[in-house]
Chain A
Amino acid sequence: MDIDPAVPETLFGDEVRIKQILINLLNNAVKYTQKGSVALHMECEFPDAENALLKISVTDTGMGIKSDALPHLFDSFQRIDEEKNRYIEGTGLGLSIVKQLVELMGGEITVNSVYTQGSTFMVSLRQGISSDRRIGELNISNAGRISGSERFEHDFLAPEARILIVDDNEMNLQVEKKLLDGTGMTVDLSLSGRDALGRTLAYRYDAIFMDHLMPEMDGIECFEAIREQKGGLNTDTPVIVLTANAGGENVDLYNSTGFDGYLLKPVSGRALEEMLIQHLPAEKVIAGGNNEMTGAQMNTGSGYAKKKPVLIATSTMSDLPAEVLRELQISVIPYTVTTGEGVFFDTIDIDSEELVGYMGDEQKMVTSDPPEEDDFAAFFSEELKKAHQLIYITLTTGSSREYGRAKKAAETFENVTVVNSECLSSATGILVMIAARLAAQRVPADRIVAELEAVKHRIRCSFIIKSTDVMARRGHISPMINNILKTLWLRPVLRVKDDSMGVGRFFIGGVKDCYEKYVKEVLSQKAAPDTEFLFVTYVGMAEEELVWIENLIRERMNFEHIIFQKASAGIASNCGQGSFGLLFMEKGERSYSLGSIFAKVTETEEERESDTEGEKESDTDDEPASARKVNSDGGRNGSPEDAGETEEETSTGDKESPNGFEWYEKIPGIDASVALRNSGSKEALLSVLKIYYDSYETKSGEIQNFHESGDLKNYTIKVHALKSSSRLIGAVDLGNAAEKLEEAGNRSDTEYIGRNHQAMMEEYRRIREALGKEFEKGDDLPDIPEDMLSDAYAGLSEFADAMDFDLAKMVVDSVKEYRLPPEDKDRFSKLEALLGEMNWDGIKEILKMM
């Protein structure tokens, strides 16, 4: 039995009838439960200062109720399952009486049941409050004796907390402050919005209570000002609005403004306290200010955990960062991914990186499936232990059977609503975030659902598919069509609209071209996205590609938060490697302040990061699909991959080097301002420069080979890539030269190419040399002695023959202590990579070619 200690001691209502209800329910539960337990759970909500909404639930582990029997449960004279129950006493009248009683009292009764596992009956009754005294800790063995004698005691302390109350009415302020006297927290008072803004510059509050109606600057204006405040310390402090009017339109207004909660005036101490417990940082709340454990058994207060009113849940295919799921307390059920190796739980056992690696093999089939109806039922059952209502959001019916299965499973539950997001991946994630936001603001479940149904049409969901092989393998398109697409370099855009998934349009061209066209088309002027945030959800793409895409995006639009999210294995198995999607919400009347969630999440991530090591290796496969976020100043936060380089958050952008010039500004042929603009930040530019530098060998080799063999088509492709990357690093002239050669290639002007190819290669080499000086410089390593180098190759050859990993590694590691000539440096990088795979033949190949 667990009873909320905050339940008022005495309520005004019909004692006799309530007793009848309780006895009936409990009797039933006991009767139909062979083994296990019967639990009585009682909690209270306070819609206003005079009334209490008492919520009673009786849960048993009996045989449960079949879904088709549920609608008839409360009908008189019908006892279900006559056969089984004939040994049980009773007339079967009980439940129908209970229902009538409850309804006569203006209350509600609902049932959840999983057949063979048990049932929960929930009754909610509105009762007047007779005595403000709380029931406190109910001690059953000393029944009748009630502790907690004083008038309204707090059951928590928060001496470290500091809050601000803003209200134009002096008396209100004093009363509200007095209500918080016992908690030990510091309470600042402001009589106006203006004054409040002064304070929010000085202190970072743990919570702010804001009166709505005030002269000069009302609560909403002030709230918005606080959120936007330059240099303000409270841009994501929880703000709760105090209002005298609880009408529907007001609630809408508060939600859309983005308040973290609302309270009705006159504010009761209890309500204030509840709100604070919810929003104060956990470490500042010391529970149990007056709870005295009497030491006797059967202490009903202990083990009590208040249920959330509404819980939001979805599947792993919603591609949301782990931190966001945690922050918003969203529950997740995994899809399963089936490969030749076995069946895995999406994102738990396997993520898109591993899947992409696996799918590389032509023969391997991969399928992804939503949970079965039974799995859903079990999941819902579990989740309902934590909340009164559950809203489960599924992917579009156009892509999976999730909705149908979830809906069917939800039929046995009265408190579960299933919503079809009509999109997939992070687009569904956006809808989930909106739902969670609303739930946190205590919006009732049915209103949340209505809101979701309306707003889901504003969400845009599309993916550019690099290669249609996977789609062909999955049977979405025929092999013949696949071949045609490949031959013509046609890449489709997968679009999810109006609850169906289909090909939006095709782009023709090389991969990067198509990426660029896709970004341009999606972020066109008429799209009008809400610029608070943008999801870039990708499958198997490299860091440099993502950086490049980010630049493309920034060139077109300024988003406050760009979230790079690795797609779940489920999505990966449908789209294939190299695919990504731009997922966002269209601008509309209501904004849900989702941006502040990302801001909050980035903050906690940074705190965590500052404890961890600097340089990490790029093996992030063990981590859950966590996201990288980029703020509008271009600094990159929270990414495990480049923790080494970019740990500081530069809010003002670049740092100047002491002599006023950066080294890359002094390289002839590189225009640093262009480079910075294209890359977005100094850090990004440095990493791009390094990539450019490192890839010289391979890329120049390719270009040269294609040129010499006369392969015009591939030559043009490679030169096009060189153009883009050169421009990215600000090598404007080289970029232009490459462009001209690309154009010549397109019109098959071999003469032009013949004349100008060499010059371009020269310039390329020169830039690389110049970069080399800088990248070598940092190392401070001694030059490798000539004979040692040749000895290294000899030793490596011998060890490769013997397939001796440790010895080969020794050679590679020793060589790293020295500075090598560029050609050898490249070679050793390749050798090292091959060694990691124990690819002895590959190693021997390279050594042979010397």
Chain B
Amino acid sequence: METNKTALIVSEKETFTVRGLEMKLKTIDIEPLYSAAQMEQLKTRCEEADLFILYTDDEVGKYANILVFMRDYCIEHDKQIVVIGAKEEYKFVCGLISENQIHKFYERPLDMERFLDEMSTYFSEVSEEARRKSILIVDDDVSYMRMIADWLKDKYRVSMVNSGLQAITWLARNHADLILLDYEMPVTSGPQVLEMLRTDSETANTPVIFLTGKSDKESIMKVLALKPSGYLLKSIERKDLRDNLARHFTLEAVR
């Protein structure tokens, strides 16, 4: 996919967390670049960056020269820096780089959803509707869930949890535009999860689509009685699922 939005991540080492960040940026169509906190590398890579993401650690004092270079570069080329790290580290950074160059600070542990949202917004000229929707899939069948997630990964931000309990926990910290909820689950069933979601103001308005394995009339009536935003049979094919969800979001947009 053609994308001309790039972000350069600068950190002392390319830890797994940084790699995770790179993976996540891709899901919102931002091309991640990486440079270690090392002058040579940074000099070559910074040309291509639209935005800098500085990922600090407690060793930040050691690479003050890097920070200075970034500051100067950004002033000259009118670029911005996003900082992710601990408060203490941020304070140190602020001592070297003025507020004008700093777009935003995110404290660790990173609230990925919010971060990605805002990154999306930063990069797109269009409003919120254009950014990728996030879908949460709740199903105790992990392999099925992974398959579905795979089908949707390229167009949406997909997250997976395998129980009602995990879903609640996830939603406490993250936001979903749509929830695909397995109807038949052990311990906490789909309907029970739906009920819990509806009692919480944060999630009460999130659309929920049930996934069910039973296609007989009686079961469908039961599913629909709870008035979800819809239901899908688990036997659905890739193309139909994508079409269905696309339709859903289009309708949501005009509501």
Q: A residues near B, CB below 8 A?
A: 341-342, 361, 787, 791-792, 794-796, 798-799, 801-807, 810-811, 814, 836-838, 840
Contacts and interface: CB of A to CB of B under 8 A. Distances in A.
Contact of A840 (B166, B173, B186): B166
Contact of A803 (B16, B19, B109, B169): B169
Interface stretch (B47-55, B68-76, B155-163): B155-163
A807 B173 CA distance: 17
A836 B112 contact: no
A116 B175 CA distance: 60
A810 B109 CA distance: 19
B17 A798 contact: yes
Contact of A810 (B19, B146, B162): B19
Contacts of B196: none
A810 B184 CA distance: 30
A22 to B, nearest CB: 48
B173 to A, nearest CB: 8
B20 interface: yes
B151 interface: no
Nearest to A793: B16
B159 A803 contact: yes
14 contacts: A342-B214, A791-B17, A795-B16, A795-B17, A796-B16, A799-B16, A803-B169, A804-B20, A805-B160, A811-B16, A814-B19, A837-B162, A838-B166, A840-B166
B226 interface: no
Contacts of B23: 806-807, 810
Contact of B16 (A341, A342, A814, A838): A814
A804 B112 contact: yes
B96 interface: no
B17 A838 contact: no
A810 B173 CA distance: 22
Given A803-B170, A838-B142, 8 more contacts: A341-B184, A798-B17, A803-B169, A806-B23, A810-B19, A814-B16, A814-B19, A837-B142
Contacts, number: 59
Given A341-B184, A801-B109, A794 B15 contact: yes
A418 B119 CA distance: 73
Interface residues of B, number: 23
A471 B186 CA distance: 24
B114 interface: no
A792 B20 CA distance: 11
A152 B112 CA distance: 83
B43 interface: no
Interface string B108-119: 010010000000
Given A795-B20, A810-B23, A838-B142, A802 B112 contact: yes
Contacts of A795: 15-17, 19-20
Interface string B3-14: 000000000010
Contacts of B160: 805, 838
Nearest to A795: B16
B16 A810 contact: yes
Please provide the 4 A-B residue pairs with the shortest distance between their CB atoms, ordered closest to farther: A795-B16, A807-B20, A838-B162, A791-B15
Contacts of B15: 791, 794-795
A130 B139 CA distance: 74
Nearest to B166: A803
A816 to B, nearest CB: 13
Contacts of A361: 186
Contacts of A806: 23
A667 B13 CA distance: 43
A460 B159 CA distance: 54
